[in-house]
Amino acid sequence: MVDKSDITVHPKEVIERILSMELVRVTERAAVSAARLRGHGNEKAADQAAVDAMRRELNKLPINGTIVIGEGERDEAPMLFIGEKVGNGTGPKVDIAVDPLEGTTLCAKDMPGAIAVMAMAQAGSLLYAPDVYMDKIAIGPGYPKGVVDLDADPADNIRALAKAKGVAPHEITALIMDRPRHADLIAKVRATGASIRLITDGDVAGVIFCAMPQETGIDIYLGIGGAPEGVLAAAALRCVGGQMQGRLILDTPEKVERAKGMGVKDPKKKYEMDELASGDVIVSATGVTDGGLLAGVKFKGDVIETETIVYRSITGTVRKIHGEHRELAKFKLD
């Protein structure tokens, strides 16, 4: 008898499953290239190395890809700019969001948490976000829909989350980026008795931490970070079923115009997670430096080791992949 589970293709399957593994290759190579410059104090060089490697690998893939979240807009970024076409042009039409080196400062200073990350989704399903700030809120899976809200007072959010979790507010831990702009937010959260973990960079991983509170100790992400990072984080969180909302911060007429040019009709819109990233999404992230989500690249002489996490929304599958790269080590390729 044929086991049907072997031959069933998910009805909404648009992106070939096989591409998940291809994305692993892309972020692995970007991570290795950036890691060669780890701790050298040169953010630009590390970022450029990751960008070059990512682009080279993306162009080998059997896709008709368009970069929708990239290294900036056409004039300011040498490559992987928003609108750039990638792939060998033979496969499905897909949207691609990249952050070849998320946490350039973390890499340059060899601090924990730098990753190479990208997401791929069927065309039209990732928000075309300009490189502005985004106000974000995120929690993990298992809570009633709408238990927290971007527009609610932060203290009320903490209390509502604590109630839903069945704990006191002081047992809740919020993750917030350590920035002067968050002084008021931090004060309000502290006033509830909740604990705060402050991070210097890397809020893609920060949001993802909410999805595994038992490992990370993080219950909620709050605050303002990059919009591109927001879309990447939403794509990953969607795969494991948390909740997230985000609003672009378009605080000058110039930013409103730029966003309009990218299809944003309502500059004040509060985006739900599945509006930031919808459809069939795959997200891959490889560690550059050691961090809470992933181990960093290890150079062990004749072998280079990587750790990658891959998320897929259609099935909610999460895989951690340990890579051992011998040819890369032998030929000192970047």
Q: Which residues bind ligand VTB (CB under 6 A)?
A: 102-103, 177, 179, 201-204, 225-226, 229
Shortest CB 102 distance to ligand VTB, Å: 5
Question: Residue 138 and residue 116: Cα distance in Å, rounded?
Answer: 21
Question: Residue 126 and residue 136: Cα distance in Å, rounded?
Answer: 16
Shortest CB 201 distance to ligand VTB, Å: 4
Q: Return the number of the residue (61 or 199) whose C-beta is nearest ligand VTB.
A: 199
Q: Return the number of the residue (273 or 328) whose C-beta is nearest ligand VTB.
A: 273
> Is 226 in a helix, a strand, or coil?
strand
Shortest CB 88 distance to ligand VTB, Å: 30
Shortest CB 104 distance to ligand VTB, Å: 6
Q: Two tokens at 25? A: 């290759």
Q: Return the number of the residue (16 or 290) whose C-beta is nearest ligand VTB.
A: 290
Task: Tell me the pairing of strands 220-226 and 133-139.
Answer: antiparallel
Q: Return the number of the residue (94 or 204) whose C-beta is nearest ligand VTB.
A: 204
- Give how far the C-alpha of residue 105 lies from the chain's centroid of Cα atoms, to the nearest Å: 17
Q: Return the number of the residue (202 or 279) whose C-beta is nearest ligand VTB.
A: 202
Question: Residue 161 and residue 48: Cα distance in Å, rounded?
Answer: 40
For 153-167, give one letter per residue: b (16+ CB within 10 A) or e: ebbebbbbbbeebee
Q: 3-state DSSP: the chain helix, strand, coil percent, rounded to 5? A: 35, 25, 40
- Give how far the C-alpha of residue 303 lies from the chain's centroid of Cα atoms, to the nearest Å: 27
Shortest CB 297 distance to ligand VTB, Å: 18
Shortest CB 233 distance to ligand VTB, Å: 8
Q: Two tokens at 171? A: 């047992």
- What lies within 8 Å, CB to CB, of 221 at 6+ separation is 136, 137, 138, 139, 174, 175, 176, 203, 206, 207, 209, 210
Q: Return the number of the residue (87 or 246) whose C-beta is nearest ligand VTB.
A: 246
Question: Residue 26 and residue 64: Cα distance in Å, rounded?
Answer: 16
Q: Return the number of the residue (204 or 273) whose C-beta is nearest ligand VTB.
A: 204
Shortest CB 221 distance to ligand VTB, Å: 11
> Is 136 in a helix, a strand, or coil?
strand
**CB of 244 closer than 8 Å to CB of 234:** yes
Shortest CB 224 distance to ligand VTB, Å: 7
Q: Return the number of the residue (87 or 206) whose C-beta is nearest ligand VTB.
A: 206
